[in-house]
Amino acid sequence: MSKNKIIAGLAVLLVIASAGVVMVRHKKPAASQASASKVQTPTYAKAKPDSPLTNAVLIKDMKYAPDPLVIKVGTKVTWLNGDNVSHTVTADKSTDGFASPTLGVGEKYSYTFDKAGTYAYHCTIHSSMHGTVTVIN
Ligand SMILES: [Cu+2]
């Protein structure tokens, strides 16, 4: 009888202890995500034409997506070369101020847009590649 009680007590303690371990495990990644989100994390997953106001452009299959990218003034935009060849992100008008070096596969380029307007850009390697960033207030 008392042996059974001890076993039951131990079982309860085990459950509480393992629940505690699970909670600690879940807490740690959540905390690091919170600090990471203070930096403007690129959101490539939502890069679709029907979901504006993201801050990332994925370069893939010789295209920039989304195109146009619609953002608010002050947004830092990051392009990621997710293609299997090199590309550039080069403003059509040099006065617009953004021009990446040649981006190899997997490389990124970022630029912060501080003025509302429409910014056309292209790839200097592939003349068929064009994109637009629309910056709104
Ligand atoms: Cu290109």
Buried-state track 85-95, b at ≥16 Cβ within 10 A, e below 16: ebbbbbbeeee
Q: How confident is the model at residue 96 (pLDDT cuts 50, 70, 90)?
A: very high
CA atoms within 13 A on the CB side of 51: 11
Least confident of 7-16, 40-49, 120-129: 7-16
Distance (Å) from CA 59 to ligand 1 centroid:
8
Give CATH superfamily name and number for 44-136.
Answer: Cupredoxins -  blue copper proteins (2.60.40.420)
Spatial distance between the Cα atoms of 63 and 72, rounded to a whole number of angstroms: 22
Give 28-65 pLDDT, tens digit per residue.
Answer: 444 444 444 456 666 655 444 444 568 999 999 999 99
Distance (Å) from CA 26 to ligand 1 centroid:
41
pLDDT at 117: 97
What are the domain boundaries of the chain?
1-39, 44-136
Mean predicted confidence (pLDDT) in 84-89:
98
Give 105-120 pLDDT, tens digit per residue.
Answer: 999 999 999 999 999 9
Q: pTM for the whole thing?
A: 0.63
